[in-house]
Each structure stands twice: as C-alpha cells, then as structure tokens.
Amino acid sequence: MSDHGHHNEGHHGHDDHGHHEHHETFISKYIFSQDHKIIAKQFLITAIIMAVIGMGMSLIFRLQLAWPGEKFAFSNFFLGDKWAPDGVLDPNMYLALVTIHGTIIVFFVLTGGLSGTFSNLLIPYQLGARDMASGFLNMISYWLFFLSSCIMIASCFVETGPASAGWTVYPPLSAIQKAIPGSGLGMTLWLVSMAIFIASSLLGSLNYIVTVFNLRTKGMTMTRMPLTIWCFLITAVLGVLSFPVLLSCCLLLIFDRSFGTAFYLSDIFFSGVPLEATGGSPLLFEHLFWFLGHPEVYIILLPALGLISEVISTNSRKPIFGYRAMIVSILAIAFLSFIVWGHHMFMTGMNPFLGTVFTFTTLLIAIPSAIKVFNYLATIWKGNLRLSPAMMFALGMVSLFISGGLTGLILGDSALDINIHDTYFVVGHFHIVMGAGAIFGMFAGVYHWFPRMYGRMMMPKLGFLHFWMTIVGVYGVFFPMHFLGLAGVPRRYFSNEEYVLFQDVQPINIIITCFAIMAAIGQFVFIFNFFYSIFKGRKSNQNPWGSNTLEWTAPIERIHGNWPNAIPEVHRWPYDYSKPGHDTDFVPQSVPLKEGESDGH
C-alpha cells in the first residue's frame, strides 16, 4: 500500500481499512455493518420483501376489480373474515390496499430500495473509495429505513385498518379520524413511518453527496464519473431539497389530526357537527406534498436511468452516446422537476393562470427526456449487443420510458388533463414510466451487478424467462388502462358497476387482472433465481461483463476497504468500449493512456 499511498492524498484515511477484517464479529459484519456493500444488500433484500408485499396487495384488489363481489379464498386467506368476509373484499380495505400498495412501491421499493441498494453499492466502488464518507450514518440510514418499513407493515394490523386515503393522503379525508376507518391509528402510524423514512432518506442522501464530492480517487474528475454516479448524485440532491418539505407537510398534518390545529382544515361540517377548525386549506397540503411528490418521480427514475446507461453501454460494447449531453439532460430534468409540481393540481381549484405556467414547464421536461432516449438509441446503433438479462431489462426500460413519457404529453397539458385527471389513464401512465420503468432499471441493475455483490452469476435462462413474463405483463396490464381512463373510469373505484357509463368496459378489467397474475408469477422466477444463485450460482470471474468501471477491478471476495492494496487511479472516462487502437473491446478506467492516445470523447 505504501508505494501507491501518495496517489490518494487528500481523500484517504481509508487506506488502512483492509487490515481490520479479522476484528469483525457476526453482528458488526452482517447486521450493524458499516460496510457499504453489506448495507446495499440489506437495502436490496428489505426492498424485495416490501415489493412482494406491495405486489401481493395489488393482486388482491385486481381480483376485486376484475370480478367485483366474487368470493376469493385468496383474499380471505390474507385478509381474514373482517376485511374479506367470505372472500369478498371490504371497500374500506380496498382503499387501504391501494394506499399501502402505492406507499410501499413508491417509497420503500423505488426510493429506499433502488437508491439505497445501488447508491450504496456503486458510489464507493465506481469512484474508487474505500467506503462511504460516513459508514456510521450509512448504517443508521439503513436501520431507520428498516424501522419505518416495520412500522408501515405494522400499521396494516391495527383494528381500524391501515391508512386508506390514497398514497397522497390528502386531508381532510386523512385528517378527520371518522371520515374513513383508516384515518384513525393507521394514519398515525403511516405518518410516523414516513417521518422516519424521510430521516433515513436524508441521511443516505447527504452521505452520497459528500462521498461523491470528497472521495473520488485520483484522476476521477467529475466528467470522468460514470453516468450512474451522476444520476445518484443528482438524485441525492433532489432528495435533500425536497424530502424536508414532505416532512413539514406531514408534521402539519400530525398537528391537525392530534392537536386541534387547522393548517389544512376549514369550514367543515362533518356528521352533524360544524368543526371548530377554520382558516386552513387542503390546497396548502397539496402544494407541499407535490413539491416533494414531483421531484420524487425523478428520485425514482434517475437512478434507474443511471443504471441502464451503464448496462446499455457495457453490453453494446460501445461508449454511451453523447456523455456530456446526458449529464446536461440529467441536470435539466432535475431543475425542471422542481417547478412542475402544479401539473398534479390542474383541477384542484388552483388559479388557472398557474395551470398555464405549470403546463409550460411540464412539457419542457420532454426535451431533455427526448435527448436521453435518442442517445440510448444512438448507443445501440451499430453496437455489438450482448443481450444479457440485464441488457434485456435495460432496453425494456427504454421502451417503457418512451411509452410512458409520451402519454405524459397528454396529462401535462392542462386542457387535456381536464377530462383524464385522476382516471385510469393516469394510473397507466405512471405505472409504465415510473413504476415498471424504474423496476426494470432496478432489475437490470440486479442482474448486472449480482456477480459484484455475491461473486456468483444469476441463471441467464431464468433471467430471460423473468424478463419476458414481466414485459408482457407490464404492457398487458398498463396499456389497456389508458382505454379505461379515456372512457372516464376514475382511479380508486372499488367497482365500476354503479355507473351506466362504465358498464361495457369490464372485459378490459378482466384482461388486465389476468396479465397481472402472470406478471406476479414471473416475479417468483426472479426471487427463486436470486436466492438460489446467492448460494448455488455459477462462480463469477472478476470482470464478467468486460466492464471499464472501477468496481470490477476489486477482488471478488468482500473485504472492508474494497481494494486490498492501493486504490486504483483513473486515467480515462468509463466508456472506452471498442475504442480503435486497442486489442480488447474494453479499456478499464484504471489503464493508463497509451502514448499519443487522446482522452477526448
């Protein structure tokens, strides 16, 4: 280590970590670990468990939506006689399931799970750092995430049921405890869980930002960072700027619920009583909520886009096209994401002039998004595409990003939003672009970096099977939803049978549910593949995909400090794939430039 120690002046103090391996006990190594690799796995496995729960909930309400009033032993088995007597779902529980499904998938899987796993795994590895800037805060971040997950799950078991005002928990429905059973203790636990989750997210994000700015290895300039790191960095910045607003939003709701304040309540006559609260406004809540809520969409999407940038480039054996344009697009998306929240509120009674402003900013986001898509297409053009499972999912995400992004042009246009606001068109749109899109990015990441995490490969054939079941399922479930929405079917409806207008559309719901069941079965293929491969998978070599980034220069065995000797020095950008003048079709970042070779890209 001593020879190369001088390379790391200014960002070390970590160089000697490799020596401490033998001091670790089981608890410090696997449970209260401060090692970024273990924490990444903890996030991933927690997120997988949460995802299974969230998906299971969606199956129960999909059954009801396809065959309203039918008896399902499946529903009764999971919900019991109180919430699904004879297997017929209770309307209150339906709303609760919709709410908790949304909360779990948005926050616990796609925010905590996605960023938590891959920011933790890749930021130190790809930057050439021994670990995160603060391993201790990183550990706290995970355990707060775990605690908030437990509270969210626990809230499903209280007598009056979990929160059921929709994942956006708009007051007064969420504030008046008697307005819906779920607004009792269940809502309190939801808010407590979210407050803890926000603390976890903030600790994680601060850590990521500090690490990226301070712990880059020698030669790793900002414009030599892989796009994954750029995305994680910008995501963390978005999180730090927007999550505190959600925290204050939730705190004020807690005050309104428990301490008789009136931030969100006014002029309410509920069950025979004119409530004392006056002067508040539900619109205040909506503004605060969506001030987080919209950046949140990009907190979910950007890490996934970062992962697929790396996966697509590596597996195309081609540099990512327009590296700098990609960075500028990410920055533009991040900036715009803070000034578009009002497009969730066109129909709330907000001044129509604000609708004008938010339509303008919202549609502008399509420009950097289009640039990203075209750059991905240019990257695979004339490539040598290794269609690994990771690559399949990455390309699938590009497809979903296009499909879901395009319908955003309709929703973001205030005049068109009038007729499809809060309908199934919205549900189809955001599940494709943000739900499935980000999940695909996450799967691409898991298949690609599994050998880095566990030193073994996942089985590619099962990966392909999983991919096909998932993409067919996603398009089968969410594409028809656009037709439901255009027919006017509102989201969060327990059944459509009350309306003359919706009487013919039921076959669409049945088709959707069938695809949903198939897609859910497909996920068990993944789960089997994942856990089986951890123990029995084929042994990986150090750099199975022929990648350029630094994580593949570290030994397969997990050691604290990542590299046994000096940390590698960086001499080039991460996308020298198939570069003319080299014998191999990849040139790792740690390989010095040849004489006369230019680093220009």
Partner 1 sequence: MALLIFLTVVLVVVAVAKIMRSHELSTKLDGDQADFISLSEIKTQGFLYALFGAILFILIIVQMCVWGKYILPSSASVHGDEIDNLFDVTMYLILFTFFVTHIVMFGFIYKYYQKKDQKAYWFPHNNKLEMAWTIIPAIVLLSLITYGLSTWQSVMYQDSTKDSVKLELVAEQFKWTVRYPGKDRVLGKVNFSAITGTNGIGIMTSAAVDSSLVDTRKQIAALEITVKELDSLVNIGGWSGKADDLDDAEDNLSAFKANERRLIRFQEEHKKDAAYYKGGEDDVVVRDTLYLARDRMAEFTFRSKDVLHSAYFPHFRAQMNCVPGQKTYFTFTPKYTTEEMKEVAASEGKKFVMYELVCNKICGASHYKMRFPIVVLTQKDFDARIATYKVFGDELTGK
Taking CB under 8 A as the rule, does residue 475 contact partner 1? yes
CB of 437 to partner 1, least distance (A): 15
> 442-456: buried (b, 16+ CB within 10 Å) or exposed (e) per residue?
bbbbbbbbbbbbbbb
CB of 395 to partner 1, least distance (A): 6
Taking CB under 8 A as the rule, does residue 49 contact partner 1? no
* 134 vs 177 by CB, closer to partner 1: 177
* 89 vs 144 by CB, closer to partner 1: 89
Q: Is the dihedral of CA 310, 316, 319, 321 positive or negative?
A: negative
The residue whose two tokens read 């590299």 is 563
Taking CB under 8 A as the rule, does residue 532 contact partner 1? yes
The residue whose two tokens read 């779902």 is 89
Taking CB under 8 A as the rule, does residue 275 contact partner 1? yes
Judged by CB under 8 A, which of 4, 67, 134, 166 binds partner 1? Answer: 166
DSSP 457: P
Taking CB under 8 A as the rule, does residue 419 contact partner 1? yes
* 23 vs 324 by CB, closer to partner 1: 324
Q: What is the 3-state secondary structure (H, E, C) of 421-447?
A: CCEHHHHHHHHHHHHHHHHHHHHHHHH
Judged by CB under 8 A, which of 431, 577, 587, 590 binds partner 1? Answer: 577
Taking CB under 8 A as the rule, does residue 252 contact partner 1? no
* 214 vs 541 by CB, closer to partner 1: 541
Q: Which of 471, 467, 380 is nearest to 458 (CA)?
A: 467
* CA separation, residue 153 to residues 47, 158, 163 (Å): 13, 10, 11
Judged by CB under 8 A, which of 134, 188, 248, 495 binds partner 1? Answer: 495
* CA separation, residue 557 to residues 158, 529, 538 (Å): 44, 21, 15
* Interface stretch with partner 1, choices 16-24, 145-153, 194-202, 318-326 (CB under 8 A): 318-326
Judged by CB under 8 A, which of 49, 52, 137, 179 binds partner 1? Answer: 179
Taking CB under 8 A as the rule, does residue 86 contact partner 1? no
* Interface stretch with partner 1, choices 13-21, 122-130, 188-196, 349-357 (CB under 8 A): 349-357
Measure the CA–CA gap between 361 and 318, rounded to whole angstroms: 34
CB of 41 to partner 1, least distance (A): 21
Per the structure block, which two tokens stand in for 493? 């409806």
Q: Scan residues 6-45 and list those touching partner 1 (CB under 8 A).
A: none
Judged by CB under 8 A, which of 70, 86, 504, 599 binds partner 1? Answer: 504
* 210 vs 517 by CB, closer to partner 1: 517
Taking CB under 8 A as the rule, does residue 325 contact partner 1? yes
CB of 173 to partner 1, least distance (A): 4
Which ranges constitute the DSSP H helices of 67-181? 73-83, 91-103, 114-127, 135-154
Phi, psi of 546 (to 5 degrees): 65, 55
Judged by CB under 8 A, which of 21, 185, 255, 492 binds partner 1? Answer: 492
Q: Which of 213, 215, 214 is nearest to 129 (CA)?
A: 215
Q: Which of 87, 103, 105 is nearest to 95 (CA)?
A: 103
Q: Which of 181, 176, 395 is nearest to 307 (CA)?
A: 395
Taking CB under 8 A as the rule, does residue 165 contact partner 1? yes
Per the structure block, which two tokens stand in for 159? 């007598």
Taking CB under 8 A as the rule, does residue 479 contact partner 1? yes
* 243 vs 494 by CB, closer to partner 1: 494
Measure the CA–CA gap between 576 and 184, rounded to whole angstroms: 57
Q: Give the helix/strand (H/E) hosting 269.
A: strand 269-270
Q: Scan residues 118-157 and list those touching partner 1 (CB under 8 A).
A: none
* Residues 373-412, mask of contacts with partner 1 (x by CB under 8 A): xxx-xx-xxxxxxxxx---x--x--xx--xx--xx-xx--
CB of 383 to partner 1, least distance (A): 5
CB of 31 to partner 1, least distance (A): 28
* 210 vs 406 by CB, closer to partner 1: 406
- Which residues, listed in sequence order, are joined to residue 270 by a DSSP beta bridge? 273
Number of residues located near partner 1, criterion CB under 8 A: 138
Judged by CB under 8 A, which of 52, 173, 185, 534 binds partner 1? Answer: 173
Taking CB under 8 A as the rule, does residue 359 contact partner 1? yes
CB of 3 to partner 1, least distance (A): 31
Query: Where does residue 41 rank: exposed (0-12), middle (13-18), buried (19+ CB within 10 A)?
Result: buried
CB of 175 to partner 1, least distance (A): 9
Taking CB under 8 A as the rule, does residue 366 contact partner 1? yes
* Interface stretch with partner 1, choices 1-9, 239-247, 335-343, 498-506 (CB under 8 A): 498-506
Taking CB under 8 A as the rule, does residue 472 contact partner 1? yes
Sequence letter at residue 171: P
Sequence letter at residue 141: S
Q: Give the helix/strand (H/E) hosting 274.
A: strand 273-274
* 105 vs 212 by CB, closer to partner 1: 105
CB of 512 to partner 1, least distance (A): 12
Per the structure block, which two tokens stand in for 453? 């995490």
Taking CB under 8 A as the rule, does residue 77 contact partner 1? yes
Per the structure block, which two tokens stand in for 39? 């924490």
* CA separation, residue 136 to residues 17, 207, 217, 221 (Å): 15, 10, 21, 26
Per the structure block, which two tokens stand in for 435? 């739900």
DSSP codes joined into one string, 193-249? HHHHHHHHHHHHHHHHHHHHHH-PPTT--GGGS-HHHHHHHHHHHHHHHHHHHHHHH
